[in-house]
């Protein structure tokens, strides 16, 4: 694996290897030293979890990290990202973690630099967020054994969600039992690669084993896609009452950032069924596994 761009590039064996390696890092705390590889974090959209966890992952593997301050970089003077990558590569950076609103940009960069550098997609617009889907899967696999028997529901702004897209690819590859995408009509996906859609929360999360809650991504909504937050909350929020539609032992995930009192209540986000912080912890180990896989 030279680049980490989307779930569809992985094999079932590759997915299983990444999860196993991430669990090894988590359970044994033995970290190899890769100090000859430098990582650059290039985040053109805001991030807390992904940026910091890639930095911590690199630190644990003894890889030097550069966090480019894009406000203070030469991009503010008109430099294009291709030149930024090329210049950093000339200084010895070999791994680039890139988040950008332009869908497909990490792939384009990977095609431009096939041998010299490793590109990691840390979220490109509405398209993909593969490391998030992988850390979610790792978290689920710690609690639920047979994916082919699982009922997974994703609730929220599916149309604009790169997480939901990556999850559809993952479910398709792994033949997950059932995937239901729950959203109001206006936020339903334009195309569905795997699973079914519903506009009913009760139907969608009814009897689910795993409920993945998504943030309303206001920054991606066009004028005609706006929905009153109060109406969304009334019909789709995960609350102490609505989570009862799911199985008693259902687990609740959220990629973050969470908006308490909008798509999820604190009763659920901080409740016994929530694995939200476990996802965040696992993110560091999964990203260690991804960085290592790229340099092997």
Beta strands 38-43 and 93-100 are parallel
| Helix intervals (H) in 175-215 | 201-205
Q: Are 282 and 135 in contact (CB under 8 A)?
A: yes
Q: How many residues sit close enough to ligand CP to count as binding (CB under 6 A)?
A: 9
Cis peptide before 266 (omega within 30 of 0): no
- At 213, list the tokens: 């809650």
Report the residue from 38, 41, 132, 165 that binds ligand CP according to the rule CB under 6 A.
132
Cβ burial, residue 72 (10 Å; 0-12/13-18/19+): exposed
Task: Give me the 237-276 binding string for ligand CP, x by CB under 6 A, dash otherwise.
Answer: ------------------xxx-------------------
Rule CB under 6 A: is residue 166 a binding residue for ligand CP? no
**Token pair 């430099």 in the structure block, residue:** 79
Nearer to ligand CP, 84 or 121 (CB): 121
Q: Which of 229, 208, 158, 217 is nearest to 188 (CA)?
A: 158
Task: Using DSSP, state whether 205 is helix, strand or coil.
Answer: helix
Nearer to ligand CP, 41 or 84 (CB): 41
Nearer to ligand CP, 58 or 245 (CB): 58
Q: What residues between 71 and 130 interact with ligand CP by CB under 6 A?
A: 123
Q: What residues between 39 and 78 interact with ligand CP by CB under 6 A?
A: 47-50
Rule CB under 6 A: is residue 131 a binding residue for ligand CP? no
- At 248, list the tokens: 């008693």
Nearer to ligand CP, 32 or 257 (CB): 257
Nearer to ligand CP, 216 or 245 (CB): 216
Q: To the nearest whole angstrom, how small is the minimum distance from the Cβ of residue 234 to ligand CP?
A: 25
Q: Which of 82, 129, 124 is nearest to 103 (CA)?
A: 124
Rule CB under 6 A: is residue 165 a binding residue for ligand CP? no
Binding interface with ligand CP (CB under 6 A): 47-50, 123, 132, 255-257
């Amino acid at each position: 694996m030279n680049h980490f761009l989307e779930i569809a590039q992985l094999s079932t064996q590759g997915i299983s290897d990444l999860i196993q390696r991430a669990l090894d890092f988590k359970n044994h705390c033995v970290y190899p030293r890769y100090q000859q590889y430098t990582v650059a974090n290039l985040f053109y959209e805001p991030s807390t979890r992904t940026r910091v966890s890639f930095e911590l992952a690199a630190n644990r593997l003894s890889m030097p990290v550069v966090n480019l301050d894009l406000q203070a970089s030469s991009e503010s003077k008109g430099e294009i990202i291709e030149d930024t990558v090329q210049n950093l590569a000339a200084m010895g950076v070999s791994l680039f973690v890139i988040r950008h609103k332009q869908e497909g940009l990490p792939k384009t960069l990977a095609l431009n630099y096939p041998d010299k550098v490793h590109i990691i997609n840390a979220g490109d617009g509405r398209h993909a967020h593969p490391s998030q889907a992988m850390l979610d899967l790792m978290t689920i696999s710690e609690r639920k054994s047979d994916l082919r028997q699982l009922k997974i529901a994703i609730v929220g702004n599916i149309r604009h969600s790169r997480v939901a897209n990556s999850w559809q690819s993952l479910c398709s590859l792994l033949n997950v039992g059932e995937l239901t995408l729950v959203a109001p009509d206006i936020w339903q996906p334009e195309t569905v690669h795997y699973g079914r859609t519903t506009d009913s929360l009760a139907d969608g999360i009814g009897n689910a084993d795993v409920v993945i809650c998504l943030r309303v991504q206001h920054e991606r909504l066009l004028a005609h896609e706006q929905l009153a937050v109060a109406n969304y909350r009334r019909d789709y929020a995960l609350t102490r009452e609505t989570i009862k539609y799911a199985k008693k032992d259902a687990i609740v995930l959220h990629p973050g950032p969470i908006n308490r009192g909008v798509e999820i209540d604190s009763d659920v986000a901080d409740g016994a069924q929530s694995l939200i912080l476990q996802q965040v912890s696992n993110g560091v180990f999964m990203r260690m596994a991804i960085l290592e896989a790229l340099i092997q």
